Amino acid sequence: MMRSVEIETQRFRIAGEGFAISRGRRTHAEVVKVVLTEGGARGQGECVPYARYGESVESVSEQIRLIQQAIEQGLDRKGLLEAMPAGAARNAVDCALWDLEAKKAGKGAAKLAGLPSLTPVTTAYTLSVDTPEKMAGAAADAAERPLLKVKLAGAGDDERIAAVRENAPRATLIVDANEAWDESCFEINMAACTRAGVALIEQPLPAGKDRLLAEIERSVVICADESLHTSADLAGLKDRYDAVNIKLDKAGGLTEALTMARLARELEFKVMIGCMLGTSLAMAPSFLIAQTADFVDLDGPLLLAEDREPPIRFDGSLMHAPDPALWG
């Protein structure tokens, strides 16, 4: 039975003044959606192309079109791992295949993956990088959330961290430097994180330039993000990182992400499940990994002014399992 394949690029407006990290500010999330239809069943997946890895909605869409015929002829998830490299394009197709399989089988994706029933999880809520004064205000507005993720930018991060901690005294803090630290600010910013009781620091140094992490003693968990893409990278990170941030858009889908999570546990890493800035459809497959993650950062829909229907339900920072009508 032939499948039909639809590829669509979409834009979703980000709430407020947009979303800012060390590499710049955005006002819209740009995503690629894949819909597979077979025998009356319909499966869908979403990816978020990331310029840091040379991706765009155009390049990702073209990658999918290049294997569209194979998908139509019945390519499965195992074959997909061989047919496409890890990245956003493979993620959209892989997640659509999971959803299609769940719909055809009449059972949830969690059951197909051999997982127990899904339960709510607490996600981080992200504060964009800005001046210490503006970040203080954002922290005060979000102070009742239990877990805050603080975007940083390098120089001046010690003041940003202090401002957030002062205005959100009870929240657990994790910080994300997005590769922005260097030798000029590393020790100052690490000390600020220690003073503020930060629980985890994501990717303080650029990928490929992080040897310093193997030489320092620290009281804060350091997590690989840009330094990690697939399970093949994990063993080589043990000397520098205490935790790893698994993102489906880097891994190339839920299939590889499940393998990564299992191997990361075997290697005694703490596990974070993260996301690019996408809709509830992008978060839904990651919810399976979130069930056993030490840190969950799947707040993409909370940062958008518009989302899909039906959206994932959030009670504050408590994230519920996706409706099967959305995914899985």
Q: Which residues are catalytic?
A: 151, 247
Among residues 33, 43, 47, 31, the alpha carbon closest in space to that of 88 is found at 47
Cα–Cα dist 23/138, whole Å: 20
DSSP string, 55-70: --HHHHHHHHHHTHHH
Beta bridge partners of 315: 318
At residue 159, the 3 state secondary structure works out as helix
Instruction: Kindly state the tokens that stand for 177.
Output: 């430097």
Distances (CA, A) of 273 to 49, 170, 291, 306: 18, 23, 10, 23
Instruction: Encode burial over 267-301: b for 16+ CB neighbours within 10 A, e otherwise.
Output: eebbbbbbbbbbbbbbbbbbbbbbbebebbbbbbb
Among residues 303, 252, 33, 308, the alpha carbon closest in space to that of 148 is found at 303
At residue 166, the 3 state secondary structure works out as helix
